[in-house]
A and B are shown apart, each in its own frame.
Chain A
Amino acid sequence: MKRAPRVLIVDDTEVVRLTVRDVLFDFGCAFSEADNGSSALTLMSEAVFDVIFLDLKLPDISGMDILAEARRRKVSAKVIVLTGLPAVELRVDAERLGAFAFLTKSPLDWQQVRSAFADAMGGSSVSQPAALQGLPNRAIMRDTKRRPRRSRPAAKFANDPPRPRLLVLDDSLPWLETIEQMLGRDFDLSLTTSAEEAYKKAKRQDFALAVLDMRLLGGISGLDVLSRMRRTNPGLRAIILTAHPDFESAVESGRRGALDYLSKHDVASLASTVTRILSEGTSPLRVFLSYDAKDRPAVSRLYERLMRRGFLPWMDVKNISAGRKWEAAVKTAIDQSDYFVLCVSRNSRHNEGFLRRELQQAMERQAGLLNGIFVIVARLDDCAVPEPFHLFQYADLFKREGFNQLVQALSVEAHSAVRPHPDLAAVLPSIRTFLEDVSLSLSQKGPAAFEATTRVSRLEPFEPLSVFVSTDPTTSADVAHIVEVTALGRRESAGILIYQQRPDTLARIRIAQSRLEDRFWLIPIPYPEVDRAVRERASIGLLSEYADRYLPGADLFGDMNAIGDTFSFFGRADVLKVLKDELLQVQGVGLFGMRKSGKTSVLLQLPHIAPGHPVVHVDLEPFVGAQRFAAILFNRILTRLTSYVPGFRHPNIDPDLPAVDASLQFTDIFSDMVNALENAGHKLPVLCFLDEVDCIIPRASNDPGLSHEFNSFFGALRALSQQHRTVSILVADVHPDCNRINRWHPEAPANPVFSFFKEFYLKPFSRDETDTMLLDIGRLMSRHFDTETLGVIHFLSGGHPFISRQLASLVAKTAANDEGRIEFRKAGKQLSRAIHDSSFLRAYIRTVVWDDHTRRASDANMSILRLLACRRDQAHALSESIMFAKLTTFHQASDVIDARIELEDLGLIQKVETSGNNDAIQLSIGLLTEWIRAEMREEEIERWQNL
């Protein structure tokens, strides 16, 4: 009898190890597992394995080193590399070190794993159960309860309440792993990569929610999976997750009853989305549509509209699949419906055949309800309503307001776009003030709805304007409701949505769709901006700005200013969260990064996620070169804070007062201010953002008096932060000089904020983030990029969002066809010449990237950039050790190291993982490479190439 094959699986991710075990289940192997390199080497020395599945990226030792060590020890096991890093060089290196096979994990191909394993075991030497041969692979299906997960604490008590059970279907193991990390702690997960297993599971068990990937292997759609699941489990709630968000699939998701459509780029919001949906505790309302066959076209339209409004309508021709018994399906559907809508017209024959039986069943159910409503009549034309339905209130769908009447009848409470919410009371006073400021006339139309004629002339053609307030996350159903209410019967219309939480992906797509299909321009304004505008008496300015942004014709790509508009702000969710956490713990924070990398935009977003904390945002740029600034800045901080406590009066600090005296006076006044803020219900600490801090840094050549200004200003703030814990300071600029220089000149006292700030750098976007940003903005402008164009924009910009947007703006203006599509065959040429043809981009690269290093005399930085830009082989990165060897011939080693770190922090170069421990680096920004080469004469380029 043959012994069981012995298999070692080395991977730091549990779900991968379990998956490999599942895939090889029927081979009857004896498995060992290691989640790090040291354990793997120990196991390899203690036991003999036939096959080792080896991940290359382990927390302690690289897979390549393990492979080399295995070779050195003459380990007989066949090593199958399983990696998420599919670079060609890695494959070559791995094979050189004796790897038997090289497989990628994203996505993991089970057939490849099995056949590689079979090959490693000598082909026929490992028999595959005959029953399984030729059959599709077994699904990878596990319940999280099978084994404890690292990410979730073990249950403490036997009577802990059960966690909501979620079914997660995604064909990509890395994504399952990511989802598991995000949801595993709070939910009981069933993870699967197989649609077939997902059906079975959904049939056997109850799930609170299904999370379904949109595109599955084999061309299966997550929506088809959902539809099939709902045949046996009609109430199953589901959200769609996709790496490729697009207009059509988002709309289709809404039509097929998905409760949300989430981009994988926004996966950070997955947990909150799931929590929200579960907390709402309601499934989409199921609405049975009863009608005469002659009215099918009209009722089909009604079906579509109800879908778009978030209902789950049921219609025989759409919901009964081939082969099912018609009468039984109808009976089940009526039983499971929340409402029965009887569509009547002159065509209706209610006393005949199936229709009569439908009605009978519905009326029996209606009769069982004392006060509730089950049957609702909807007239399709001006027909007489038959008995006994003439006693019912009915909706006239052929009239302008008919559909809204029906929607209200179906459930005002559950599906009103603007639901009353406890938070509403808190925001309404400020919103009302804002609306009064901007309006010539204003009337309230509901708890969270207004109608206004504004003082903004651009809005005049659309008036009176409907204004909606949303304190819950705005959903596509909400947007659909707004469109229905506002756009009905008008050629062009506009409305305002003041929201407290960012609209979800589906809602954003619905907004874009309404621009295209309904010519309805929704102007979404985040509530914190409204609140700020009211305090700064700038309400009309704010409304004008947002009207300019969202009425047709705006170039949202070409935005030069920092972005306060949450709707146009992308990525950075992780940075925002970390900054918020640090600031609320009264930790000084330094936010650094290349000019235009989005630092000020991040500062503008922070108040949105730290509501209740007074925020002072001071731009220090106007103070460049100023001889006296401490007292002026103190006054500015106090003035801003006064807007939070309008009754508070404070003495103005005399600008001529010596900085030290001014700081003492400020500290006293600030303490009183803090009391007033607390009494007014505001939270502490005050968040104080000092943007462009470089502008007030004393340089060695400056007047020594500037050191006193700087030190007094920051000395006071530091004391308030560290001793009183009443203010959190955030400084922002390109370089962290204010945190790194201890003395501004030899005689000056020490810098009070030397090493005070925790440093964070804004990194470039990933390819996915760039794509999401450009596609999303593009939708609002009716511009659609093809994949190749997006790829080139990302390459040229290196993921720097400002550069990406400028490039997108360039091609959006000139390369779009009549349908707004931007195809690479036209856009490619413009992009390839962008550095020559766009004086703006040339100037940006020259001044922001290059001259910045020139000004700081960062010779080693420039040498690294030149060396990388001049390489003959731009396709491959340069080994860091080679770069180091070349440059230390004329730079100090420490300078080269500092330069490498600084350039990486700024996102100008990036590390690329190669075999072994030898990292390689390359320039991140394609445009920078082109610019540097264009700046040099041919002989200079050759000189750097031959260095």
Chain B
Amino acid sequence: MAESVNQREFDNFRTAITDPDWFFGRRDLLDNIVFASSPQVHILLGGRRIGKTSLLRAIEWNMFDTRSQAGRRSFPVFISLDVEQPRSLDNFRYVLMRRLRDAIDRWRHAAGSTLRALYRSYLSQVASAEVSLGSLLRLKVVNPDADRTLGHDDFREALINTITVVCDLGFDGVLFLLDEADYIVRTPWANHAWSYLRGLKDTDMAIKPFLGVILSGYRDLKEYEQRVGSPLLNISDIRWLGCLKNDEVTALLSHRFRNESYQLTDGDVDVVFTLTGGHPFLVQQVANAIIDRRDTPIVDAKLRARIVRRTEIDGTFSSWWNEKGKSDGFGPAERSVYRALVDLRSADEDLLARHCGLSVSSCVDALVVLAGTGVIRSDGDDRYEVGGQLFEDWTRRLVEPLAVAD
């Protein structure tokens, strides 16, 4: 069976959302960043497919929104470190400057009467691949392609000059959106890189009020940040992304179903929420399934089993569960706490710690990772409950495989 009948936007809602009309939730987090009175260092943590890249993109278009009442509008520069894969600190500095200049160039050529149109136009601009840095620097770049590095002094000078440029464009500074920042923490020059950024943010009077940095990542980034002597320690605001709330899921589904002329019922929303726990990627995939198989009740066990067995979903769940230790997903503590929560259905950290024979602190750490991966939910007080049934079923299947006939 084909995994999906229709081809939809964002590769059937499997890739990051880059359209303001299709982004739902995360309002508090967005406001916290967009309406900040000064650019800060933020670390956004979350499990695979929880929506980190989408959130960075949302920050990007919010910063571009000229009608926004944001306290400070920083010029956003989205950089996927997993794609760029800088080789050294000097190369990393080059990448930062290169992408900043590219973004400025694209912004200058972008046009649109609405934010959505403007942002689309911005994304669709082909950056004039090598916007010359020479005009900005007294820099001897012999061969930019082969020797793509920038030393401290040149980078600093270029950044100060570019800040002036973005201010002339009506922005108040520069905000680097560094996606997949785990890439750098795995390199041997990670300390130098983050120390360098920290130094700019902490003590360089000419730069610090104009520079913001947002890093996204998962456990490697979290553990690096919390290591003794980590340059990221105590300078950044750390936020875990979790599942969407019920009303956000409802809004998302309404939009999706309206767009595909499907009549949404309250029952549909409840079912989707029960199955997914509000995990945005799962919500989208279940929505695909509902729309694709309009005549099959979603509660149908076969359909659920099919969703779970889809290669991509199965791969995602395997990566989360990480029983073989191949991904940066759960460790023994997270798996143990998740299983305990499945047994208890709802519990606080003390009860779970006792149940698992863990310290409260280890238990809290595990709960944070589980909630940040989107497989459990916090009630906002001090109790937790299991998230989506799809993942719960999948973990049960590890013990007692579901017998589902195709």
On whether the beta carbons of B238 and A548 are closer than 8 Å, the reply is no
* Option from B37, B204, B354, B358 in Cβ contact (under 8 Å) with A551: B37
B337 CB to nearest A CB, Å = 14
* Option from A542, A554, A846, A851 in Cβ contact (under 8 Å) with B205: A542
B272 at the interface (CB under 8 A from A): no
Q: How far is the CA of A552 from the CA of B192 in the complex (A)?
A: 35
Query: Which A residues, 519 to 562, have Cβ-Cβ distances below 8 Å to chain B?
Result: 532-533, 536-538, 540-542, 544-545, 548-549, 551-555, 558, 560-562
Residues of chain A with a CB closer than 8 A to B13's CB: none
- Are A852 and B364 CB-contacts (below 8 A) given A551-B37, A839-B238, A843-B238? no
- Are A843 and B199 CB-contacts (below 8 A) given A549-B38, A934-B364, A937-B358? no
- Are A842 and B364 CB-contacts (below 8 A) given A536-B206, A541-B206, A541-B210? yes
Residues of chain B with a CB closer than 8 A to A541's CB: 204-210
Name, among A552, A624, A934, the residue most crowded by chain B CB atoms within 10 Å (CB to CB). Answer: A934
On whether the beta carbons of B229 and A554 are closer than 8 Å, the reply is no
- Are A560 and B191 CB-contacts (below 8 A) given A619-B203, A931-B361, A935-B359? no
Query: Which A residues, 829 to 848, have Cβ-Cβ distances below 8 Å to chain B?
Result: 833, 836, 839-840, 842-844, 846-848
**Nearest A-chain residue to B195, judged by Cβ:** A622
Residues of chain B with a CB closer than 8 A to A854's CB: 228
**Nearest B-chain residue to A552, judged by Cβ:** B37
Residues of chain B with a CB closer than 8 A to A537's CB: 206
B126 at the interface (CB under 8 A from A): no
A596 at the interface (CB under 8 A from B): yes
B395 at the interface (CB under 8 A from A): no
On whether the beta carbons of A457 and B167 are closer than 8 Å, the reply is yes
On whether the beta carbons of A548 and B38 are closer than 8 Å, the reply is yes
Residues of chain B with a CB closer than 8 A to A839's CB: 238, 240, 368
On whether the beta carbons of A545 and B358 are closer than 8 Å, the reply is no
Residues of chain A with a CB closer than 8 A to B36's CB: 553
Interface flags, B336-362, vs A, CB<8A=1, else 0: 000000000000010001100111111
B193 CB to nearest A CB, Å = 11
Q: How far is the CA of A88 from the CA of B37 in the complex (A)?
A: 48
On whether the beta carbons of A847 and B226 are closer than 8 Å, the reply is yes
Q: How far is the CA of A836 from the CA of B71 in the complex (A)?
A: 31
Interchain pairs with CB closer than 8 A, number: 129
- Are A844 and B234 CB-contacts (below 8 A) given A548-B38, A551-B37, A934-B364? yes
Residues of chain B with a CB closer than 8 A to A846's CB: 226
On whether the beta carbons of B234 and A560 are closer than 8 Å, the reply is yes
On whether the beta carbons of B207 and A848 are closer than 8 Å, the reply is no
B227 at the interface (CB under 8 A from A): yes
* Option from A545, A842, A851 in Cβ contact (under 8 Å) with B38: A545
On whether the beta carbons of A847 and B227 are closer than 8 Å, the reply is yes
On whether the beta carbons of A536 and B205 are closer than 8 Å, the reply is yes
A458 at the interface (CB under 8 A from B): yes
On whether the beta carbons of A847 and B233 are closer than 8 Å, the reply is yes
Q: How far is the CA of A439 from the CA of B227 in the complex (A)?
A: 43
Residues of chain A with a CB closer than 8 A to B361's CB: 842, 931, 934-935
B231 at the interface (CB under 8 A from A): yes
B147 at the interface (CB under 8 A from A): no
Query: Which B residues, 189 to 217, have Cβ-Cβ distances below 8 Å to chain A?
Result: 191-192, 195-196, 198-199, 201-210
A107 at the interface (CB under 8 A from B): no
Q: How far is the CA of A836 from the CA of B366 in the complex (A)?
A: 12
* Option from B225, B229, B358 in Cβ contact (under 8 Å) with A843: B225
A672 at the interface (CB under 8 A from B): no
Name, among B41, B199, B206, B231, the residue most crowded by chain A CB atoms within 10 Å (CB to CB). Answer: B206
Q: How far is the CA of A933 from the CA of B360 in the complex (A)?
A: 8
On whether the beta carbons of A625 and B191 are closer than 8 Å, the reply is yes
B170 CB to nearest A CB, Å = 7
Residues of chain A with a CB closer than 8 A to B226's CB: 843, 846-847
- Are A561 and B235 CB-contacts (below 8 A) given A548-B37, A548-B72? yes
B23 at the interface (CB under 8 A from A): no
B55 CB to nearest A CB, Å = 18
- Are A538 and B205 CB-contacts (below 8 A) given A935-B359, A937-B357, A937-B359? yes
Chain B: how many interface residues by the 8 Å CB criterion? 55
B183 at the interface (CB under 8 A from A): no
On whether the beta carbons of B228 and A852 are closer than 8 Å, the reply is yes
- Are A848 and B234 CB-contacts (below 8 A) given A544-B210, A549-B38, A619-B202? yes
On whether the beta carbons of A596 and B234 are closer than 8 Å, the reply is yes
A149 at the interface (CB under 8 A from B): no
A401 at the interface (CB under 8 A from B): no
Residues of chain A with a CB closer than 8 A to B205's CB: 532-533, 536, 538, 541-542, 545
A381 at the interface (CB under 8 A from B): no
B74 CB to nearest A CB, Å = 11
Residues of chain B with a CB closer than 8 A to A847's CB: 226-228, 230, 233
- Are A553 and B208 CB-contacts (below 8 A) given A595-B234, A852-B228? no
Residues of chain B with a CB closer than 8 A to A540's CB: 206
B172 at the interface (CB under 8 A from A): yes
Interface flags, A592-603, vs B, CB<8A=1, else 0: 000110000000
Residues of chain A with a CB closer than 8 A to B198's CB: 621
A46 at the interface (CB under 8 A from B): no
- Are A625 and B192 CB-contacts (below 8 A) given A541-B209, A548-B37? yes
A517 at the interface (CB under 8 A from B): no
**Nearest B-chain residue to A623, judged by Cβ:** B195
Residues of chain A with a CB closer than 8 A to B173's CB: 544
A936 at the interface (CB under 8 A from B): yes
A324 CB to nearest B CB, Å = 53
- Are A836 and B349 CB-contacts (below 8 A) given A624-B195, A851-B228, A934-B361? yes
B382 at the interface (CB under 8 A from A): yes
- Are A619 and B199 CB-contacts (below 8 A) given A560-B236, A844-B234, A931-B361? yes
Interface flags, B227-260, vs A, CB<8A=1, else 0: 1111101111110100000000000000000000
B196 CB to nearest A CB, Å = 6
Q: How far is the CA of A938 from the CA of B359 in the complex (A)?
A: 8
**Nearest A-chain residue to B152, judged by Cβ:** A622
Q: How far is the CA of A420 from the CA of B188 in the complex (A)?
A: 58
- Are A545 and B209 CB-contacts (below 8 A) given A554-B38, A844-B234? yes
A855 at the interface (CB under 8 A from B): yes
Q: How far is the CA of A619 from the CA of B226 in the complex (A)?
A: 21
Name, among B71, B196, B234, the residue most crowded by chain A CB atoms within 10 Å (CB to CB). Answer: B234
Residues of chain B with a CB closer than 8 A to A851's CB: 227-228
B155 at the interface (CB under 8 A from A): no
A455 at the interface (CB under 8 A from B): yes
Q: How far is the CA of A842 from the CA of B227 in the complex (A)?
A: 12
On whether the beta carbons of A562 and B202 are closer than 8 Å, the reply is yes
Interface flags, A32-47, vs B, CB<8A=1, else 0: 0000000000000000
B63 CB to nearest A CB, Å = 14
**Nearest B-chain residue to A546, judged by Cβ:** B209
**Nearest A-chain residue to B372, judged by Cβ:** A839
B180 CB to nearest A CB, Å = 21
On whether the beta carbons of B196 and A622 are closer than 8 Å, the reply is yes
Interface flags, B21-43, vs A, CB<8A=1, else 0: 00000000000000111101100
On whether the beta carbons of B195 and A455 are closer than 8 Å, the reply is no
* Option from A538, A555, A619, A940 in Cβ contact (under 8 Å) with B206: A538
Residues of chain A with a CB closer than 8 A to B353's CB: 937
> Apart from A548-B209, A622-B192, A937-B358, what are 17 other A-B pairs with CB-CB below 8 Å?
A458-B71, A536-B205, A541-B207, A544-B209, A548-B37, A551-B71, A554-B37, A595-B234, A596-B234, A621-B231, A836-B382, A842-B365, A848-B233, A855-B228, A934-B359, A934-B361, A936-B359
16 A-B pairs whose Cβ atoms sit less than 8 Å apart in the complex? A541-B205, A541-B209, A545-B38, A545-B205, A561-B202, A561-B208, A561-B235, A621-B198, A624-B229, A836-B364, A839-B368, A847-B226, A847-B233, A851-B227, A931-B361, A937-B359
Q: Which 3 A-B pairs have the closest CB atoms?
A: A538-B206, A548-B38, A538-B205
B residues touching A (Cβ–Cβ < 8 Å)?
35-38, 40-41, 71-72, 167, 170, 172-173, 191-192, 195-196, 198-199, 201-210, 225-231, 233-238, 240, 349, 353-354, 357-362, 364-365, 368, 382
